Amino acid sequence: MILKREKDEFTPYLSDASNFTGNCSELYILEHFTEIPGILAYAARKHKHVTVCGNRTGLTGSAIPESGIVVSTEKLNRIINIDPDQMTAVVEPGVILSDFIGVIESLGLYYPPDPTEGSAFIGGTVATNASGAKSFKYGSTRKFVLALDVVLPDGDTITINRGEIFAGENGFSFRTDRGRLISIPFTRFSFPSVKNAAGYYYHPGSDLIDLFIGSEGTLGIITRIKLKLLKKPASLFSCFTFFDDTARAFDFMDETRALSRGEGLTDFRAIEYFDAKSLSLLAERHPNLPSGKAAGVWFEQETKADDDPVLEEIYSLLEKHGADLDKTWASGDVNEIRKISSIRHEVSYAVNEYIASKGLRKLGTDTAVPPENFREFYQFSKDMIEKSGLQYVIYGHFGDCHMHLNMLPKNTMEFNEGRNYYARICMKAVQLGGTVSAEHGIGKIKREIFKLMYDETHILDMARIKKTLDPHCLLGVNNIFDHSWLAMINP
C-alpha cells in the first residue's frame, strides 16, 4: 500500500463533484485487498474514522472524509474476468466505468448503468446504486450485481452471492468467512414505489447483497464485484426533439412512457427532459441548437434492421404531440448517436462548472415521484423557484419522473436562500409519495433532508443495522445519517 500523511499530498481526495470539501490525517492507497484488515485494526486502536474513496465523482460528499483516514481503491483496478458465454464480468472496485464499457462493447456485450460521470469507479457506482438515463428500461446498478466480496469493519470477510441469503421474519442471519455468525434484526422501514437511492435497502424477503449495494461505504469495503451483462443491442435510434409548449412535451413523455411499459412497438430505453433554461445553457456550447424552444426531449430506442414500423410509430407520436420535426436531431449512426448522447450530459457539466466558479456547493434536487403526481410536482417546484428570482435549470430522467432542478446562486446569500427552497421541494416530493434521492444517495450533504422521508424509529432501525456490522463505528461515519444516531443504539 501507499501511505501519505502530508496534507498537500492528499488534497485532491478532499472534495467531490458537488464541491463538498473535507479533511483527514492519513491517506492509504490500496494495492491489494488483503491490506484492508490491517488498516481497519489500526483505525479501531486509534479511534479513527475510515472513509472509502473512489474517483470522487459523487454529489453528496459520501466519499469525502470529515476526519480520520481515507482509503482509496484507485489501484484495485483489474478487470479480472469477462465471460461472454455466461455474460458476466468480475472486476475490482477501482475499474473506471467508461473503460469497462469500452472493453465489453468490443466483445458485443452491454452494461446499462450509465451515470453522468463515466469516470466513476465501478465500486463507487455499486456503493451508491448509481443509475442514469438507461434506468428507465433497465433499472439501477443493483439489477446487475451478482456477487460481492466485502471486508467487514472488523476485518472479517464475506462473499455474497445473489439468491443465497434472504431476510426472514427475524431479519438476516449469515456466517462470515471465519465462521462468525451475524444476525441483523428485522426492520420496520418501507420504501417509496419510485426509483430510490435513499437509505439501506432492506425488507422481509430482500437479498443480503442488496443491503450492501447503495450503503454508501458504511457497512463494509467492497473488494470484488461480479456483474451481469447483456447482449449489445443490434442498433439504436437516438433522437433529440424540441417543443414550443412544455405541456405538449409532457404529453409526449407520458404517452411514450406508457407505451414503453406496455406491449407496443415503442420501447424507449431512456427519456430525458430539458427545460428552456437548460437548452439555453446548452446553446452556449452548441450554437446550432434551435432557439426559443420551451422544452427538449432526448430518447433512445433499441432497434433491429427491419424496425421500420417502430420508427414510423415514433415519428407519428412526435407529430401528434407537436414536436418540431424540422429541428429534430435524429440518427441511427453510431458516431452521431454518440454526439447526441454526449450533449445530454453537458448540462450537468455546465452546472458543475458554474458552481465551482462561484466557490459554492452544488444545490440540485435528485427527487422522483409517482407518474400520476409528476406534473403537479414539476409545476410546484418550477413556480416556486420562478417566484424566488433565483436562476435555475431543470432537466432529468423524466421517464422515471426523476427531476434535477439545479439552482444557480450567485453568492452565499442566494445559496442559503436556495437551501430553503430545496428543502421545500424535497418535502413536496415525499408528500406526493416520492423520494429525496433517486440516484445520488444521501451522503453527508443530505442527512437533514433524509429525515423528511423517515421518522426517528426508522432511522434508528438503519443505525442498528450499521452498528451490528460496525460496532466501533469506523466506516463512512456521517454518511446517510448523523453519528449521533449510532450513540442511541445500545451495544
Tell me what percent of the residues of the chain surpass a pLDDT of 90.
Answer: 84
Looking at residue 309, its pLDDT comes to 87
Dihedral pair phi/psi, residue 272, rounded to 5°? -120, 145
- For 226, residues 6+ apart whose C-beta sits below 8 A from its C-beta are 88, 89, 90, 145, 146, 147, 148
Residue 183 C-alpha cell reads as: 444476525
Q: What is the DSSP string of 370-393?
A: -GGGHHHHHHHHHHHHHHHT--EE
Looking at residue 342, its pLDDT comes to 84
Lowest mean pLDDT among 10-19, 243-252, 428-437: 10-19
pTM of the entire predicted model: 0.94
| Mean pLDDT confidence for 200-206 | 90
| Mean pLDDT confidence for 367-375 | 97
Looking at residue 85, its pLDDT comes to 96
Over the chain, what is the mean pLDDT? 94
Residue 9 C-alpha cell reads as: 499530498
Tens of pLDDT, residue by residue over 282-338, are 999 898 899 999 999 999 999 986 667 899 999 999 999 999 999 999 998 888 988
For residues 435 and 367, the answer to whether their CB atoms sit within 8 Å is yes
Cα angle 349-354-359, degrees, rounded to a multiple of 5: 125
Structural domain spans, the chain: 2-72, 79-231, 235-431
| Mean pLDDT confidence for 23-39 | 96
Looking at residue 63, its pLDDT comes to 96
Q: What is the DSSP string of 206-266?
A: -BHHHHHTTSTTSS-EEEEEEEE-EEPPSEEEEEEEEES-HHHHHHHHHHHHHHHHTTSS-
Measured in whole angstroms, the distance separating CA 479 from the mean position of its chain's CA atoms is 15
Tell me what percent of the residues of the chain surpass a pLDDT of 70.
Answer: 99
For the domain made up of 79-231, give the CATH fold. 3.30.465
Tens of pLDDT, residue by residue over 212-253, are 999 999 999 999 999 999 999 989 999 999 999 999 999 999
Looking at residue 344, its pLDDT comes to 79
| Mean pLDDT confidence for 385-404 | 97
| Mean pLDDT confidence for 266-294 | 94
Cell 465489453, residue located: 104
Closest CA relative to residue 394, chosen from 287, 285, 290, 297: 297
Measured in whole angstroms, the distance separating CA 250 from the mean position of its chain's CA atoms is 24
Looking at residue 491, its pLDDT comes to 60
pLDDT for residue 169 is more than 80: yes
| Superfamily holding 235-431 | FAD-linked oxidases, C-terminal domain (3.40.462.10)
Cell 466483445, residue located: 107
Looking at residue 306, its pLDDT comes to 64
CATH of 2-72, one of 3.40.50.11540, 3.40.50.1950, 3.30.43.10, 3.40.50.720: 3.30.43.10
